[in-house]
Structure 1
Amino acid sequence: MEFNRILDKWDISNEPIKQIYSSAWQIGDKYVLKTGKDINNLHSNLLIIKALSEQNIPVATVIKTMDGLDYIVEDNSYFFISKKIDGEHLTDIYNSNYPELAYLIGQVIGKLHVAFRECQEDIYCYDNNFYDEIVGWVCQTFKNKDITLIPDNILKQCVSELKDVYPNLPRQLIHRDIHPGNMLFQNNNLTGYIDFDLSEINARVFDICYMSLSFLIDNTDDKQKTKKWFEILNNVVNGYNSVTPLSSEEKKAMPVMMLAIEMLFVAYFVNNDNTEAAEGSAKILLWLWENKEQISSQMELL
């Protein structure tokens, strides 16, 4: 990629460039350059950033080009630059004051959802029915790829339970990819939310489940960590409840929503030929299945 030709549009040059992930680079110590090909997705992303900023939600500030544009298009790809947010990603919640931090994370998600509700009517985002997604491309992938990582009876039960609970869940604009890597903290205070590329209308409890599942990755064999995970889950939910309470239907749905999310991950990773990640997601799904009753019991008490 010819970075200098791109960065000249912002009159930024001679700055060190470091790739953060496949579609983003840190430019010097002040900026982040992002790229992609879906212009509609970009427009939604920029509208979300602007709307949240107007509500004093900490998000990246978009830097305009020398011509006053929010982004440029080069070689069928868009590029935009935002101001780098100070702070660090959470790296290991288990070796911190995890109950307090989990409660804070729940509050952070809750505050984001409240802000989303205020602005979602002004933003076009994909309206996704998660149940339809599961019985659609996810189940079709399991069939077409002959995935045997999860017993068929478990898959059928997950789909059946999701069908029963999903229609009763409150829906709104959600982040959809909320995990520790997409939040920044400094001295246990949130400094910013990042990466709204996947934001969509969906059941709001999806974000809480998604975040909680991130703390199980590579940890289901560690009994000390899984014991702490139940406390983390409780505190994430309690933190969220302190901002915007969950309904009893949402709490009841959380175990099957988590199972369905891991089904999606297995199918996604298989489609991308990432066998190791697919096996990891299947392992989490089976652990969730074994501990489903305990999760359900905890949610009933909250």
Structure 2
Amino acid sequence: MNKLLEQWGSKFKDARVSSIRGGIWQVESADERFILKRRRNRTKVFDEYELMNWLQQNDLPISQLLYSTEDVPWGGRSGSIYVLYPFLEGMSGTELQNLNIPLAIDIGASLAKLHRAFSQYEAVEKFPSFDIFNEVASFGWPTIHGYVKSPFRSKLQELEQAIGGDFVNNYEMLERQLVHGDFHLGNIVVGDNKLLGILDFDRVRMGVRVFDLCYFTCAVLSHTFKNSLKKDDWLTFTKSFIKGYIKKQSLTKIEAHSYFYVMCLIIIVSAAMNLDAGNTEQADQNISILFWLYDQHDYLQPMLENAILEDIQKQIN
């Protein structure tokens, strides 16, 4: 691994390398820390590098990929490619012990700033498109229906009908732009109730704008789901997160109405992906969250919608 790292300079010759998880390592060289990640596609890495340059110009808190001695933002070994970037100091969002309102507001505002920068980026054609609704229809529902046993199948069918009936037309009218695609607690760095950094731009794509908000909301719910006390704080945290976003970037009425349903779509795809990977324990939690959301529909859907509409109205006034 050190031979690979020397492609970024001789200072890495004696660097200490420790595995974080599959394909990701922490690198320590003298008093500096870095993250090394395995990647698949050189073209995508270069597109990501150019996008991150744009984000830096717009004062987003990111850690840019480092150029190697070959004057490219990657290194190679045994047919694989790797990227290296400076470690962002702070605490991973996954280490949060409490869901507090000031932090939620700042995360929302930071995501809005990221979305504004994304919307002004010109080279959008370099990134793939992602249609969460089609992904659910072609992959999510078939996979989950093949797994869920009676008596839960009837509830699953009710949810499928509700999403198809209440949401399909609104989905086509949702705002679309570049989105982060993987905005969750593990991809943010926090400290002193502030967002200090945003990580991992390898899943940026064209999609519905509200996807990133709903994805983060789902991730926080999943993080707290087994703790009933923290789960009770989730809605307050979510409303504060949305409030922070709307302070910087307005949402539409259709996005307000669709928020709950996009959350459901994300959970469905997450469950299907976990089932496809053989991770049935995590899939079971995804499905439990999905059914919990459905059971709370009459409360949560209007609550989330009204929270967005109220904040939109405040910004207008």
- Say yes or no: TM over 0.5: yes
Query: Which of 243, 258, 261 in structure 1 is aligned with 2:263?
Result: 258
- Asked if residue 227 in structure 1 is aligned to residue 229 in structure 2, the reply is no
Aligned length: 298
Relative to 1, partners in 2 of residues 1:75 and 1:162: Cα closer, same or farther, differing over 3 Å? farther
Match of 1:33 in 2: 36
Give the distance between the partners of 2:49 and 2:130, measured in 1 at CA: 20
Query: In structure 2, how many angstroms separate the alpha carbons of the residues matched to 1:90 and 1:237?
Result: 17
Return closer, same or farther for 1:296/1:142 CA change in 2, 3 Å cut-off.
Answer: closer
> Aligned-pair distance for 1:152?
2.5
Say if 1:184 and 1:191, in contact at 8 Å, map to a contact too: yes
Secondary structure of 1:192's aligned partner: strand
Who is 1:300 aligned against? 306
* Paired residues of 2:210 and 2:259 also in contact (CA < 8 A): yes
| In 2: Cα distance, 1:296 partner to 1:248 partner | 13
User: 1:30 aligns to what SS in structure 2?
Assistant: strand
Aligned to 1:4: 2
> Which shows bigger deviation, 100-109 or 84-93?
84-93
- TM-score, normalisation: structure 2: 0.87
CA distance in 2, matches of 1:88, 1:102: 15
Equivalent position to 1:141, from 143, 152, 157: 143
Query: Partner of 1:19 in structure 2?
Result: 19
Aligned residue number for residue 52 of structure 2: 49
Shift, 1:60, TM fit: 1.0
- Which residue identity does 1:197 align to in structure 2? D
Question: 1:77 & 1:140 partners in 2: Cα distance?
Answer: 34
Amino acid at match of 1:108: S
Moved over 4 A (4+): none
Q: Deviations over 1:198-228 (max 9, x none)?
A: 1111111111111111122264454432332
Residue 179 of structure 2 corresponds to 174
The match for 1:117 is 119
2:265 equivalent to 1:267: no
Q: 1:274 to 1:239 in 2, by over 3 A?
A: same
What's the CA shift for 1:268? 0.4
Distance 1:226 1:62, change over 3 A: closer
Q: 1:247 aligns with which of 227, 245, 252?
A: 252
Corresponding position of 2:103: 101
- Alignment-mate amino acid for residue 108 of structure 2: G
Amino acid at match of 2:177: Q
| Residue 59 of structure 1, CA deviation | 1.1
Gaps of 5+ in 1: none
Tell whether the 8 Å contact from 1:94 to 1:228 is kept in structure 2 after alignment: no
| Offset, 1:120 | 4.7
In the TM superposition, what is the alpha-carbon distance from 1:67 to its structure 2 partner?
Answer: 2.8
- How far is 1:38 from its partner? 2.9
Code of the residue aligned with 2:5 in structure 1: it is L
Q: Which amino acid aligns with 2:91?
A: E
Quick one: distance in 1 between partners of 2:141 and 2:2? 45
Separation in 1 of the partners of 2:71 and 2:223?
45
Pair 1:158-2:202 in alignment: no
Q: Assess, with a 3 A threshold, how the Cα gap between structure 1 residues 52 and 123 changes in structure 2: closer, same or farther.
A: farther
CA 1:232–1:249: 2 relative to 1, 3 Å:
same
For the residue of structure 2 that corresponds to 1:154, the secondary structure is: helix
C-alpha separation in 2, matches of 1:135 and 1:17: 42
Unmatched runs of 5 consecutive residues or more in structure 2: 311-317
The 2-side partners of 1:190 and 1:261 are apart by 24
Q: How large is the RMSD of aligned CA atoms in angstroms? A: 2.0
Q: Is the counterpart of residue 126 in structure 1 residue 131 in structure 2?
A: no
Paired residue for 2:193, among 181, 188, 195? 188
Aligned residues of 1:99 and 1:232 also touching (Cα < 8 A): yes
TM score, norm. by length of structure 1: 0.91
User: Partner amino acid for 2:15?
Assistant: E
Give the match's secondary structure for 2:20: strand
Verify the 8 A CA contact 1:120 1:173 in the aligned structure 2.
Answer: no
Q: How many angstroms apart in 1 are the aligned matches of 2:210 and 2:27? A: 35
Q: Deviations over 1:165-203 (max 9, x none)?
A: 211110110111101110112322322110111111111
